């Protein structure tokens, strides 16, 4: 017999010996009738002592490249969406500039007609453009505010750390009383902290 068939025979005999002691739901004969024959051969192969195929070492790189590629595609989509939005916004702004320029020149302009008042599609486009501009402006202002707060927080933390360091320094604790007595008693220059601290 081949080694594969010996292992299969040993595992099946082990299952056959244990089957009478198992509850009906766990007996292999029940499950052999439930599963189709093509799945039964796979479940039996699980009990055999076959060695698995080694993994392909390139699998990791394949998954990484797929992930990077999908993210690159998403970035391109976002760029295209932004470019489309920027073009639409620029067209709307150019319309507004033209109307304002003509009004300042004293021409008689029907503003509602030029800007599309009364046309639902045009009004919706204007509302959408204004909302996008407001959202973008809000994001920029929030970003600037966060950066400013972070800068102030870092500066404050640095000052606090410097103050804690000075308070914890034993040289400063000794130097300050000496500084006050020296300046009061003689005309020598004030005590300086060592530069190696």
Task: Write out the residue range of the structural domain in which residue 100 sits.
Answer: 62-158
**Residue 180 placed within a domain:** no
Residues 83 and 151 in one domain: yes
Residues 73 and 153 in one domain: yes
Asked if 114 and 95 count as a contact pair (C-beta separation under 8 A), the reply is yes
Residue 50 Ramachandran class (φ > 0 left, ψ -120 to 50 alpha, else beta): beta
In angstroms, rounded to a whole number, what is the distance separating the alpha carbons of residues 36 and 27?
A: 16
Torsion of CA 76, 78, 79, 81, to 10 degrees: 120
14 in any annotated domain: yes
pLDDT of residue 18: 64
Please tell me the distance from the alpha carbon of residue 56 to that of residue 59, in angstroms, as a whole number: 6
Q: What is the pLDDT of residue 184?
A: 47
Residue 115 within any structural domain of the chain? yes
Q: Is residue 73 part of a domain?
A: yes
Query: DSSP H helical segments within the chain, as ranges?
Result: 3-18, 28-34, 37-47, 59-104, 111-115, 120-168, 170-185
Q: How far is CA 196 from CA 164, 173, 192, 193, in A?
A: 17, 16, 12, 9
Same-domain check for residues 41 and 71 = no
Residues 41 and 69 in one domain: no
70 and 96 share a domain?
Answer: yes
What DSSP designation does 196 have? T
> Does the predicted model carry a pTM greater than 0.85?
no
Residue 185 included in any domain: no
> Domain count of the chain?
2
Same domain for 66 and 41: no
Distance of alpha carbon 62 from alpha carbon 64, whole angstroms: 5
Instruction: For the chain, 197 residues long, give each residue's pLDDT as a single digit of tens.
Output: 444 444 445 555 665 666 677 777 777 777 777 777 776 665 555 555 556 778 888 999 999 999 999 999 999 999 999 999 889 888 888 988 998 999 899 888 888 887 777 788 888 888 887 888 888 889 888 989 999 999 999 999 999 988 888 877 666 555 454 444 444 445 555 666 666 54
Are residues 113 and 147 part of one domain? yes
* Same-domain pairing of 42 and 72: no
């Amino acid at each position: 017999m081949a080694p594969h068939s010996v292992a299969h025979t040993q595992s099946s005999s082990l299952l056959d010996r244990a089957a009478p002691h198992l509850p009906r739901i766990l007996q292999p004969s029940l499950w052999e009738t439930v599963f189709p024959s093509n799945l039964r051969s796979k479940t039996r192969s699980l009990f055999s002592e076959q060695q698995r195929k080694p993994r392909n070492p390139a699998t990791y790189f394949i998954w990484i490249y797929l992930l990077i590629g999908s993210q690159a595609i998403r970035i391109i989509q976002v760029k295209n969406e932004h470019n489309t939005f920027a073009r639409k916004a620029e067209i709307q702004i150019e319309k507004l500039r033209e109307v304002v320029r003509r009004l300042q020149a004293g021409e008689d302009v029907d503003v509602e007609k030029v800007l599309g008042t009364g046309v639902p599609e045009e009004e919706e486009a204007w509302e959408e453009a204004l909302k996008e501009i407001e959202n973008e402006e809000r994001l920029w202002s929030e970003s600037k505010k966060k950066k400013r707060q972070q800068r102030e927080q870092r500066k404050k933390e640095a000052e606090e750390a410097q103050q804690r360091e000075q308070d914890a320094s034993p040289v400063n604790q000794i130097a300050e009383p000496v500084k006050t007595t020296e300046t009061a008693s003689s005309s020598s220059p004030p005590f300086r902290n060592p530069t190696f601290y």
